[in-house]
Amino acid sequence: MALGKSIAPVYIISGDEPLQLNEALDTVRKAAFGRGFIDREVFYVDGSFDWGRLLEACSSFSLFGEPRILDLRLSGKPDKEGAAALEAYAKRLPDDAVLIVTLPKLTATDQKAAWFQVLEKKGVFVQVWPLSGQPLIAWLDKRMSAKKMLADRSGLLILAARVEGNLLAAAQEIEKLHILYGPKRISDDMIRKSVADSARYDVYDLAEAALQGQITRAHRVLQGLRGEGIANAVVLWALARDIRLLCRIKHLMDGGEGLESAFSRQKERVWDKRKSSLSTAAQRLTLDQAHRALLLCAKADRMIKGMESGDTWEALLDVCLSLGGEPVAGIIAGTG
């Protein structure tokens, strides 16, 4: 995405591929921040959203007098009131603000709507698309290169077949390869082994069971992962990733946000498959309990790195026990 030497007053970012959508948003946001747009106001548009808030932000000054980013996130096309508000915004663009609108894919018909036409004339439209074929291979290659990893085209094809165009899954597979092997040339066999590891005992299944408080199942999956020779660092990564996300959601909820609103703030990180287990954990656990689980992750990390003595697999089980509200001393009995 070309941002040039100046920032446009409006950016419309549209598409149904969440990772690219979020990364495009981050690119614009960072560029604006680098040009002095320090403050940011985020608006999550749902059925009860008051569009007057956007127009008020348009006509008011930042609390500290700094240029602002108005981050408007829609889950669908704007309704009649929203379309009118966006047209009104375009007619009196504030000098001290950049409006970034993110929303699902806009069809050719959607792009003929008056609100879109008037906004696009004032700024930049970015459409992100799902990737497949050669563009997906190129994306995987670039993503691995950013981690200082190299793979042959044959290996990239194996990865592409595994993720089936899901870039969030692809990013996670690449992160897992980096944890397993570090910055080096990644052979086809390394990629096959990583893919095969996921096929039998999945680290994501472990995180799901632990978040749902299914201790017996979590213990069984953890034993399976250990028996299959899965790297303990990969197991820890999957647990810690979801626990950090849980902490962010719980923090928002403790600040007065509803569960769905807290999820919408993290939508680029929450797949539908993960939402159920995270919802269960968010309603079942306190923020202190989530923080305790994260501290146990840190302990396991020190063991993996040789900075603390102890059995790493018992430490990983302690993380699961903590999420289930169980004592963290020893191994639970039985495999269920």
DSSP-derived 3-state class of residue 51: coil
Q: Name the pLDDT band for 329 (thresholds 50, 70, 90).
A: low
Residue 112: DSSP 8-state: G
Q: What is the pLDDT of residue 315?
A: 93
Residue 336 lies in a domain: no
Sign (positive or negative) of CA dihedral 59, 63, 68, 70: negative
Q: Name the pLDDT band for 333 (thresholds 50, 70, 90).
A: very low
Residue 329 lies in a domain: no
Residue 101 lies in a domain: yes
Q: What is the pLDDT of residue 91?
A: 87
- Which of 154, 184, 200 is the C-terminal boundary of a domain? 200
Residue 5 lies in a domain: no
The residue-averaged pLDDT of 30-50 equals 86
Same domain, 32 and 114: yes
Residue 4 lies in a domain: no
Q: Name the pLDDT band for 268 (thresholds 50, 70, 90).
A: very low
- What does the radius of gyration of the chain's CA atoms come to, in whole angstroms? 23
- Which of 200, 215, 247 is the C-terminal boundary of a domain? 200
Residue 186: DSSP 8-state: E
Q: What is the pLDDT of residue 176?
A: 86
Could you read off the pLDDT of 202-233 as tens digits, one per residue? 788 888 899 999 988 899 889 888 887 788 88
pLDDT at 265 over 80: no
Same domain, 143 and 120: no
Could you tell me whether strands 39-45 and 185-186 are parallel, antiparallel, or unpaired per DSSP bridges? unpaired
> Residue 83 and residue 315: Cα distance in Å, rounded?
53
pLDDT at 330 over 50: no
Could you read off the pLDDT of 161-186 as tens digits, one per residue? 877 777 888 888 898 899 888 999 99
Residue 80 CB coordination number (10 Å): 8
Residue 331 lies in a domain: no
Amino acid at 143: R
- Which of 108, 127, 146 is the C-terminal boundary of a domain? 127
- Structural domain count, the chain: 3
Q: Which domain holds residue 211?
A: 203-323
Q: What is the pLDDT of residue 54?
A: 86
CATH no. for residue 295?
1.20.272.10
Most confident stretch, 49-63, 155-169, 300-314: 300-314
pTM: 0.62
The residue-averaged pLDDT of 267-286 equals 74
Residue 3 lies in a domain: no
Same domain, 149 and 116: no
